Amino acid sequence: MTRTDKRRHRMRKMLAWSGYTLLLVLLLPLLPYAIQAANDTQNNPAGYTPPTVVNPIEVPSPGAELWREVRQRDGSYVGDTQVKGVETGVLINKAGEDWRLFRMQMLVPYGAILMGAILGAILVFYFTRGTLRLAGGFSGKKILRFTLSERMVHWFTVALFWLLAVTGLILLYGRFVLIPLLGLEGFSVTASACKEAHNLFGPLFLFAMLALFITFFKDNFYARGDLKWLSKAGGLLGGHVSAGRFNAGEKIWFWLATLLGFALCITGLILDFAVVGLGREAMALSHVIHGISAVIMIAVSFGHIYLGTAGMEGSFSSMANGYVDENWAKSHHDLWYEEVKGTAIDAQEGKQGGGVPSGGVAQARRDI
Amino acid sequence: MAVMKFYCDPERCIECNGCVTACKNANEVPWGVNRRRVVTIKDGEPGERSLSVACMHCSDAPCAAVCPVNCFYTTDDGVVLHDKDICIGCGYCFYACPFGAPQFPKVGAFGTRGKMDKCTFCGGGPEADNSAEEYTKYGANRLAEGKLPLCAEMCATKALLAGDADVIADIYRKRVVNRGASVFNTGISYQNSTLRNPKGTPGKASSEN
Amino acid sequence: MIAQLVDGVFWNIAVAIFLLGIAWRIFAVFRHGARQDLAEPRGSAASGAIHTNWSRFIPRREIVAKINLHVIAGYMFHLGLFILLLFAAPHIKFAQDHVLGFGWPAMPHWAFVVVSQIAFAGLLLLWLQRVLHPVTRLISRADDHISTILVFVVMLTGCMALFESYTGLRVLHRFSVELFMIYFPFSSLMHAILFASSRGYTGAFFSVRGVKA
């Protein structure tokens, strides 16, 4: 077979399989109904009619219907009331207890466990394995990795993230951790300050996330070699794996942070603007998503921060002044290094005195 | 110790909103805050019933559980109160409360609500009993004077009962027994009756004949 | 006790240092005078001074692309700050009660929050650029960083006290303002006053020579 024939054959196979999968996916929602129908025929064979009771005393448990509607078990029932407001006609808010149980019995303990476990694992790793040194040492030549605008966007997001994370954690855990230290009045002041700071500067985080996403998404798509990088844990288990400008770990962090960050922003805006009148169920659901996303994002950010600072030698300078050592680039991002190795400059350039890199105007412009 | 509870009898409530008015009058609540409200179910249809709802002073109060600053406390009488000086106005108690009891005086963007206000069972707050500060912040403290909440005292039909849970349960049990007897008398469930008061049951509190 | 100090003695000290310091700095700048120019003036110095004061608000076309972040973030911050100072309800109340005796309409609460977000973002972007750009990082001194941090603290404590229910937070905000006022005359924050004379001098100098600067 010629290559075109083989290709055509492959295309047809792919099309067929896609078609079958699509059909299966479309038919899948019908499965519960099929199961239901099967059960009905089993319980009520064809021709069966339930017996009629003649003239019963129609005394159901008095008020059962009333209380069922009050209790909202069958769905939301809204009565009438003179009080104007959101959901004032609702007698029992079912979502409230569900949310209370989730927040106090799941989010608070499991969130602490998740964040504590990851922090603990990082500390254990640091104190046993230590900083991962740069193979071959520093070469003395540096390459520009992040431009000024990229670094600006990153640190802007960092500043907001820290403000929001710290104030958010104080609001979630302060009752258990800080009230014993500060007392009820002392913590009330702290919590009020944190609530104001969190609610007021939260919406800014949306702009930061948008800017961050637009700045970095181009190099974060899947590329060949990412799965291999993951399977070898980036070379942690020994050996060397290739990577482009961003390795698979960085890409996962980018997409996770994007997903969680936008979830936080949207749910945060819903929570911040209760004035819109969305109701308690929407608020509770938003809080659930907000809390889970926040805890996960904080926990994973510990790893990101560790790797960018103490974890790998030579990494922090990429975000601090934009430059990385040539050896670092060769060692960690060799495919990217191949693209940019012509731009390496001496590490001492632009450090003290003078301040003008000898690359001239072109170099200066690339800084921005 | 007495455990204070409310109970509103939907068979007797005539939706007069006397309880609402009494509460607002006794406690000088700010505009927009409704500590108590009357909700009518199946308005205009057979089986219409009304219920007067405010804070139910739960034994395991969800509002107290979720408060980030722990501003709630339960008195010896089982009344759930909170400290407005500690409250930061986050609104979590309102999200958690099944009855929508917590109220907020302000409506604004960026989570601005003001300090939470709710039914206190006419029990005041953490300030000194019957002091001026207590009255401005929390309203009347009738419990300290040995009285029961004004909403229940004002109820014309004694639909809304407030007081010791055992006593209230006993009162309601007697009512239910009487009504059950009246149902057997007439053969229809009072849930389905169009008339609120079944005929042919003289001497019963719920009958008009 | 601390609240009384902050609202009383410290405030008076801070205002005194603020006003006297500014007066001293302005005097120090102007006492040298301008060099006598004996040539026939080709334009009015005053009109040049005023014109340049206004024209410098918009950067030159040739360098706009290079400094666009400075311009945008700069305006975000400065405009936001002045709107907050002048039209935030708690500030107007303060001016009415303690300074002027009269007030004026305040902006709604949500507008206050939006403006403070813009100002906050502007300040953060400006300071980040100062730290991250290799040139500005080298030429920045402690004074620049302290000024930024002081303004940042003032704004942050202001927002944290927004619930207006806690004396402690309001006192913290006021105290940070007092620190700011004490630091103001001795730092580059004086640009808030001196920019007018600086632009004015350039404008006057060139206008007298017949050049529109």
Q: How far is A199 from chain C (nearest CA, A)?
A: 10
**Whether the predicted pLDDT of B209 surpasses 50:** no
What are φ and ψ of residue A8, in 5° steps?
-60, -45
A contacts of C73 (beta carbons < 8 Å): none
For the ranges B101-105, B181-185, C5-9, the one whose mean pLDDT is highest: B101-105
Task: Supply the range of the domain harboring residue C149.
Answer: 2-31+64-192
CA atoms of B179 and B192, how far apart (whole Å) = 13
Please write the tens of the pLDDT for every residue from A2-37. 788 888 888 888 888 888 888 888 888 788 777 777
**Whether the predicted pLDDT of A202 surpasses 80:** yes
Q: What is the CB neighbour count within 10 angstroms for residue C137?
A: 14
Please write the tens of the pLDDT for every residue from C148-170. 999 999 999 999 988 888 888 99
B contacts of A164 (beta carbons < 8 Å): none
3-state secondary structure C65-123: HHHHHHHHHHHHHHHHHHHHHHHCHHHHHHHHHHHCCCCCCCCCHHHHHHHHHHHHHHH
Q: Do B78 and B68 meet the contact criterion of CB atoms below 8 Å apart? A: no
Residue type, C109: H
Are the Cβ atoms of A104 and B10 closer than 8 angstroms? no
Give chains near A: 3+ CB pairs under 8 A: B, C
> In this structure, is the dihedral angle defined by the CA atoms of residues C201, C206, C210 and C211, taken in order, positive or negative?
negative
Tell me the CA distances in angstroms from B165 to A23, B5, B101, one per residue in order. Answer: 61, 5, 19
Where does the pLDDT of residue B179 fall: very low under 50, low under 70, confident under 90, or very high at 90 and above? confident
So where are chain B's domains?
4-164
Are the Cβ atoms of A192 and C134 closer than 8 angstroms? no
| Nearest CA-CA partner of B53 in B11, B20, B92, B16 | B20
pLDDT (0 to 100) of residue A350: 57
At residue A20's C-alpha, the angle toward residues A16 and A25, to 5°, is 145
pLDDT (0 to 100) of residue A42: 62
Mutate to test the interface with A, among C67, C124, C155, C171 (most CBs of A within 10 A): C124
The reply to whether B89 touches chain C by the CB within 8 Å rule is yes
CB contact set of A72 (below 8 Å; sequence gap of 6+) = A90, A91, A92, A93, A94
CA atoms of A39 and A41, how far apart (whole Å) = 6
- C55 domain residue, yes or no: no
Q: Which pair of tokens denotes residue B149? A: 């909440």
What are φ and ψ of residue B98, in 5° steps?
-70, -25
Torsion of CA A29, A30, A36, A41, to 10 degrees: -170
- A60 domain residue, yes or no: no
Report which of residues B194 and C188 the model is more confident about. C188
**Nearest Cβ partner for A100 among B34, B38, B96:** B96
Please write the tens of the pLDDT for every residue from A267-325. 999 999 988 888 899 999 999 999 999 999 999 999 999 999 999 999 999 999 999 99
What is the pairing mode between strands A323-325 and B37-41?
A: unpaired
3-state secondary structure chain B: CCCEEEEECCCCCCCCCHHHHHHHHHHCCCCCCCCCEEEEECCCCCCCEEEEECCCCCCCCHHHHHCCCCCEEECCCCCEEECCCCCCCCCHHHHHCCCCCCECCCCCCCCCCCCCECCCCCECCCCCCCCHHHHHHHCCECHHHCCCCHHHHHCCCCCEEEEEHHHHHHHHHHHHHHHHHHHHHHCECCCCCCCCCCCCCCCCCCCCC
* β-bridge mates for residue B160, sequence order: B8
Give chains near C: 3+ CB pairs under 8 A: A, B
**Nearest Cβ partner for C169 among A156, A193, A321:** A193
Are the Cβ atoms of B108 and C165 closer than 8 angstroms? no
Are the Cβ atoms of B179 and A63 closer than 8 angstroms? no
By CA distance, what is A79's nearest residue in B?
B41
Q: What percentage of chain A's residues is helix, strand, coil (to nearest 5)?
A: 70, 5, 25
As a whole number of angstroms, the longest Cα–Cα distance in chain C is: 64
**Whether the predicted pLDDT of B9 surpasses 80:** yes
- Phi and psi based region of residue C64 (left: phi greater than 0; alpha: psi -120 to 50; beta: remaining): alpha
pLDDT (0 to 100) of residue A348: 73
Give the CATH number of domain B4-164; options: 3.30.70.20, 3.30.2320.30, 3.40.190.10, 3.90.1580.10: 3.30.70.20
CA atoms of A189 and B88, how far apart (whole Å) = 8
CATH number assigned to the domain comprising residue A226: 1.20.950.20
Overall number of domains in chain C: 1
CA atoms within 13 A on the CB side of A251: 20
- C88 domain residue, yes or no: yes
Are the Cβ atoms of A184 and B41 closer than 8 angstroms? no
Across the range C179-203, mean pLDDT stands at: 95
**Selected residues 231-250 of chain A with any CB under 8 Å from a CB in chain B:** none
CB contact set of A310 (below 8 Å; sequence gap of 6+) = A126, A131
Q: How far is B93 from chain C (nearest CA, A)?
A: 18
pLDDT (0 to 100) of residue C78: 96
- C36 domain residue, yes or no: no
A contacts of C133 (beta carbons < 8 Å): 148, 367-368
Where does the pLDDT of residue C185 fall: very low under 50, low under 70, confident under 90, or very high at 90 and above? very high
Q: Do C203 and C209 meet the contact criterion of CB atoms below 8 Å apart? A: no
Q: How far is C163 from chain A (nearest CA, A)?
A: 7
- A40 domain residue, yes or no: no
Q: Which pair of tokens denotes residue C166? A: 């806690």
CA atoms of B196 and B191, how far apart (whole Å) = 9
CA atoms of B100 and A87, how far apart (whole Å) = 8
**Selected residues 73-132 of chain C with any CB under 8 Å from a CB in chain A:** 113, 116-117, 120-121, 124-125, 128-129, 132
Across the range C197-204, mean pLDDT stands at: 93
- A57 domain residue, yes or no: no
Q: Do C191 and C143 meet the contact criterion of CB atoms below 8 Å apart? A: no
Q: Do C198 and C31 meet the contact criterion of CB atoms below 8 Å apart? A: no
What is the pairing mode between strands B72-74 and B49-53?
A: unpaired
- A30 domain residue, yes or no: no
CA atoms of A209 and A161, how far apart (whole Å) = 10
- C149 domain residue, yes or no: yes
By CA distance, what is B183's nearest residue in A?
A59
**Whether the predicted pLDDT of A339 surpasses 70:** yes
CA atoms of C145 and C148, how far apart (whole Å) = 5
Q: Do C172 and C157 meet the contact criterion of CB atoms below 8 Å apart? A: yes
C contacts of B108 (beta carbons < 8 Å): 109-110
Mutate to test the interface with B, among C112, C113, C164 (most CBs of B within 10 A): C113
Interface confidence (ipTM) of the complex: 0.90
Q: Which pair of tokens denotes residue C122? A: 């502007």
Task: Supply the range of the domain harboring residue A211.
Answer: 106-367
What are φ and ψ of residue A141, in 5° steps?
-115, 145
Residue type, A342: G
Residue type, A254: F
By CA distance, what is B114's nearest residue in C?
C163
pLDDT (0 to 100) of residue A182: 95
By CA distance, what is A207's nearest residue in C?
C121
Please write the tens of the pLDDT for every residue from A108-148. 999 999 999 999 999 999 999 999 898 888 888 999 999 99
Please write the tens of the pLDDT for every residue from A46-105. 666 665 554 444 444 446 667 777 777 666 678 889 988 888 888 888 899 999 999 999
A contacts of B190 (beta carbons < 8 Å): 62
Are the Cβ atoms of C110 and B110 closer than 8 angstroms? yes
At residue A306's C-alpha, the angle toward residues A302 and A311, to 5°, is 155
Sequence length of chain A is: 368
**Whether the predicted pLDDT of A368 surpasses 70:** no
What is the pairing mode between strands B37-41 and B49-53?
A: antiparallel
The reply to whether A205 touches chain B by the CB within 8 Å rule is no
Please write the tens of the pLDDT for every residue from A307-320. 999 999 999 999 99
- C151 domain residue, yes or no: yes
Q: Which pair of tokens denotes residue B205? A: 């509190």
The reply to whether A163 touches chain B by the CB within 8 Å rule is no
Where does the pLDDT of residue B38 fall: very low under 50, low under 70, confident under 90, or very high at 90 and above? very high
Mutate to test the interface with B, among A69, A86, A93, A106 (most CBs of B within 10 A): A93
**Nearest Cβ partner for B111 among A60, A65, A274:** A274
By CA distance, what is C114's nearest residue in B?
B110
* β-bridge mates for residue B41, sequence order: B49
Mutate to test the interface with C, among B110, B113, B116 (most CBs of C within 10 A): B110
Give chains near B: 3+ CB pairs under 8 A: A, C
Please write the tens of the pLDDT for every residue from B62-109. 999 999 999 999 999 999 999 999 999 999 999 999 999 999 998 888
